[in-house]
Amino acid sequence: MASQDWFDKDFYKVLGVSKEVSAADLKKTYRKLARQYHPDSNAGDAKAEARFKEISEAYAVLSDPEQREEYDQIRAMGSGARFTAGGQGAGGFEDVFSRFGQSRGGYSYESADFDDIFSMFGQGGGSSFGSGRFGQASGGYRGYGGPTRGADVTARTTIDFVTATKGETITLQSEDGQPFKVKIPAGVADGQKIRLRGRGRPSPDGGESGDIVVQVTVRPHPVFTRDGLNLRVVVPVTYTEAVFGATIEVPTLGGDPVKLRVAPGTPSGRVLRVKGRGVQAQKGTGDLLAEVQIAVPTHVDGAAREALEKYREAEPKENPRAELIARAAN
C-alpha cells in the first residue's frame, strides 16, 4: 500500500471503531465485516471486493501493535500532508523530508527512502510499505491480510449405477467420525466431485471453513452404459429379424421393456432411439440408445443348415468388402 494512504485514510473510520478500541473488539469487528464483504460471499460484486480490500488494509495496520503505534504517530504529526507538495511548507513532514537532503517543496513520493522515514519513529531498517508486514497475506485472501481459510477435506464414495442415474441422499462419515449427508444429484458421472461448502476444517483465525470435496465412483452396470444423459444398450437380433424386420423388446433402466421396430435390412451397429428413457437430470433428459447387434448362431444343423446352404447358393455373388478395399487403396 502506498505510504500516502497512512496520511489520507482513517483506518479507524474504515472499520467503524474508535481510536481507543481494544485489540479484542477490533478483531471482532473485523471478522464481522470480513464475513459480510468477502469475495466468496459476493461473487462478481466489485464494490464488495473493494470494500473487503479496504477493510483488510485497515485491519492489517491496526491489528499490529507496532504498525498501529506508527500509524497513530504519523496521523498525529502530519494530518493532511502530501508527499508531492509543490509549494513552500513550514514544518510538518516537509521538515522530515529535508533531513534526507531534499529541498522544501517538490518532494517526490516515488523517490522517497522510507527506511529513513521510519527509523525516525524507532523502527529498524525495512519499510512496511509494499515489502514488509504491510499488505502481506496473513490468510486465505492473498495480499490483503485477511483471515486464513480452513483446509478442504477430501472424501470418497462408491455408488451403484442406478443411484448415479436417479440421484439419492446418502450418509457418509467425517474425519472425526460424525455422519453427514450428501445429496447425489441425478446424472452424476463417474469421477465427478461434489463440493459441500463450509463443511471442511475450520479456519485457525476466524476465517471461513474449508469444504468437503466428495469424489464419486460409479459401479458399472451389467447392461447399460452412460453417454452423457443418454443410456446405451446393445440389443441382439437374429439374422432373419435383421433381414425381414421385426418388433422386439428392449430393456429400460428400472422400468418395463419397450417395443422397438427393427426395419427390414437393418445392419449390425445401427442405433435405434427411444426418446426420454435416458437419465433425467436437472439440465435435461436423455434418450435410450439401442444398438442392434446381429447374433450369429453357434450351432446350425438339420433343416436350418439345409436352408442356409440353399441360401448361399442363391444369394447375390457380390463381395460386401469390395467397396471398403477400394476406398482404402485410394
Report yes or no on 129 lying in a domain.
Answer: no
Domain containing 209: what range? 153-218
213 and 244 within one domain: no
166 — pLDDT class (breaks 50, 70, 90): very high
Out of 218, 244, 270, a domain closes at 218
DSSP helix, strand, coil percent of the chain (3-state; round to 5)? 35, 20, 45
pTM of the model: 0.52
Q: Is the pLDDT of residue 274 over 50?
A: yes
Report yes or no on 140 lying in a domain.
Answer: no
The pLDDT of residue 177: 77
- Spell out a b/e string for 41-62, using b for 16 or more CB atoms within 10 Å of the CB, else e: eeeeeeebbebbbbbbbbbbbb
To the nearest 10°, report the CA torsion of 171, 175, 177, 180: -30
Out of 218, 241, 263, a domain closes at 218
Copy the grid coordinates of residue 99: 533531513
Average pLDDT in the chain: 78
Query: Which of the listed ranges 27-41, 69-83, 89-103 does the model predict with the highest average pLDDT?
Result: 27-41
Counts of helices then strands in the chain (DSSP H, E)? 11, 13
Instruction: Please give the average per-residue pLDDT across 188-198, as a whole number.
Output: 93
Q: Is the pLDDT of residue 303 over 70?
A: yes
The pLDDT of residue 227: 93
Copy the grid coordinates of residue 295: 447374433
What percentage of the chain has pLDDT greater than the value 90?
Answer: 37
CATH number at residue 72: 1.10.287.110
The pLDDT of residue 56: 87
Alpha carbons 251 and 274: distance in angstroms, whole number: 11
Closest-CA residue to 109 (of 7, 4, 9)? 4
- pLDDT tens across 53-91, in order? 888 888 888 888 888 888 887 777 654 444 443 344 434
CATH number at residue 255: 2.60.260.20
213 and 232 within one domain: no
The pLDDT of residue 119: 41
Contacts of 66 (CB under 8 A, 6+ apart): 123
Alpha carbons 167 and 161: distance in angstroms, whole number: 10
